[in-house]
Chains A and B, each alone.
Chain A
Amino acid sequence: MDFRWDVVWTAMPQMVEGAQLTAQITLLGIGGGMVIGTLCGLIMAFRLPVIHWLVFAYISVIRGTPIVVQAMFIYFALPMAADIALSGFVAASLTLALNAGAYITEIVRGAVQSIDRGLTDAGLALGLSYPQVLVSIVGPLAFRRTIPPLGNQFIISLKDSALFLVIGVAELAQQGEQLTAQTGRALEIWTAVAVFYLAMTFSLAVIMRLIERRMTIL
């Protein structure tokens, strides 16, 4: 069977558009996920009264349901339940942020709890306040430990964004589906789509590796 490069070239502009949308959703998703995950991770690590049970419930719901169901719920069920209608793009970014946020919560909690309790004691013994200990000692050390697992999570989130084709968002995978329907050339289109995803996940991995390299201490 021959591989028709011309199909790939003609499809290129539409695929680039899809890849851009995928990148945007992913960036918003992991950006929002970082904000949610950092806050919730600290709440869990320090077991803040009452509120940590709410965070626990949130993590349990996200981890216990497929991300497709989460996307469907936010896009289709929310307008019925609460009269909140979101565009596909917003629903996709929000779903990804909430989903990544739950996993990042666990990453942050684990990293903070892995820091030797003796270092906190040493900081407090100097007369530092709890927030000062967090900012000067526990935070920087925990941050280094989050980088490898965060890199993993970012890549998972990027790939998960492909399933937003179910809510009609014209990201890369959805473009692949449309192009296949238009051209009837599944081999060329899905090969190209896969190469696009590979290039994006590979870049993400390289960036994370560089950050890790610059913080080799511990």
Chain B
Amino acid sequence: MSLIACSKLTKHFGDTPVLRDIDLVVEAGEVVVIVGASGSGKSTLLRCINVLEPITSGTLEVDGKRLGERGTSPRAIRRETGMVFQQFNLFPHMTARENVMLGPRKVRRQGRAEARATADRLLQRVGLLEWADQRPSQLSGGQQQRVAIARALAVNPKVMLFDEPTSALDPELRGEVLQVMQDLAAEGMTMIIVTHEMRFAEAAAHRLIFMDDGRIVHEGHPGTLFANPPSERFSDFLGHVKT
């Protein structure tokens, strides 16, 4: 059974269609990279999958739970989908460890000691255990984004969504974040990643999706799509991100 299945998913903001008839199926263990020009609807798609935005029509199913069905609240779906944001969005009044502990405490109902152990294990995994007692403002952008990844992992999601996780970072800080993501992929985590890092896409993605004007236009193996761009739109886009 697929982990994520959207069918005829559409999203309008007021009268403006932003996603049109999106059909997307993601299997467990798959790494899917979404690319497309700014404004093509990539963030909105991730936010719909995480139910941060209500969908206008169509269906969304995550881990066999269908949105809107009896017993399936938006929260039930959000618990299974971890989200990493472009701007990190760490809680500034909490230390790195407290940021990671919040989900286990409130969502998974873990006790203090257990949540702390969870947090420390994940901070270790992203290489930041020594920084556990620092506030976000004392960390570099790359470190903050790694804490944000640990925070999302802490509720044990079935799938991780990344919305341009390195776009707000200086080039020299991107590698450490991409490395953590690549390790996750190697461990078999299901991931949907919006990014402009084409080399990362080629190395880590099983499938590349190109979005344009709210639609999925191309879908396929990244190496194949890069080697033979199937449309002028896509080769134009590649030309833009390469420079």
Contact indicator A121/B91 (Cβ below 8 Å): no
A159 vs chain B, min Cβ distance (A): 33
Contact indicator B87/A118 (Cβ below 8 Å): yes
Check: A35 CB closer than 8 A to any chain B CB: no
Contact indicator B81/A128 (Cβ below 8 Å): no
The interface on chain B, measured as residues whose beta carbon lies within 8 A of the other chain's beta carbons, has a size of 26
Extra 14 A-B pairs, beta carbons < 8 Å, given A123-B102, A141-B91, A217-B135: A121-B83, A122-B83, A122-B91, A124-B52, A125-B81, A126-B107, A126-B155, A127-B75, A127-B106, A128-B103, A136-B91, A140-B93, A141-B92, A218-B92
What separation, in Å, do the CA atoms of A125 and B91 have in the docked complex?
13
What separation, in Å, do the CA atoms of A136 and B152 have in the docked complex?
16
Chain A interface bracket (under 10, 10 to 19, 20 to 34, 35 or more)? 20 to 34
Chain A residue with minimal CB distance to B154?
A126
Chain B residue with minimal CB distance to A132?
B106
What residues on A are CB-neighbors of B155 within 8 Å? 126-127
What residues on B are CB-neighbors of A140 within 8 Å? 93
What residues on A are CB-neighbors of B75 within 8 Å? 127, 129
The 5 A-B pairs of least Cβ separation, nearest first, read: A127-B79, A125-B83, A122-B89, A127-B107, A126-B103
Contact indicator A127/B103 (Cβ below 8 Å): yes
Q: Using CB atoms and an 8 Å cutoff, list the residues of chain A in contact with chain B.
A: 116, 118-119, 121-129, 132, 136-137, 140-141, 144, 217-218
The 8 Å CB contact of B102, one of A136, A141, A217, is: A136
The 8 Å CB contact of B152, one of A116, A118, A124, A125, is: A125
What residues on B are CB-neighbors of A136 within 8 Å? 91, 102, 106
